[in-house]
Amino acid sequence: MGELMIGLYVFVLAVMVGFEVITKVPPTLHTPLMSGANAISGIAVIGALVVAAQAGETTGQVLGVAAIVMAMVNVVGGFMVTDRMLEMFKPGQKK
């Protein structure tokens, strides 16, 4: 139970810090930072795969699969947003 509480404590702190960092980013820096965020999420996918593969209990496997799904949604969504923003800057395609 102690390890779970420490893990939850670290998770809550990471969410709070992440929220504060993201809300302070100006919109002009969004696209370059999205590329970096996609790279970090790719690393999170690999870490989640390792955790899910090495988990001995069902709870660990479920949490590992949930982490994989969330990180993949973040990666795919990030690439979609970045691609759409870059499409806006291509010459000759004005509506």
Q: What pTM did the predictor assign?
A: 0.54
Residue 88 pLDDT: 76
Residue 35 pLDDT: 67
Residue 93 pLDDT: 58
Q: Annotate 57-85 with b (16+ C-beta within 10 A) or e (fewer).
A: eeeeeebbeebbeebeebbeebeeebeee
pLDDT in tens, 30-51: 666 666 677 777 888 888 888 7
> What are the residue ranges in the chain where pLDDT is below 50?
none
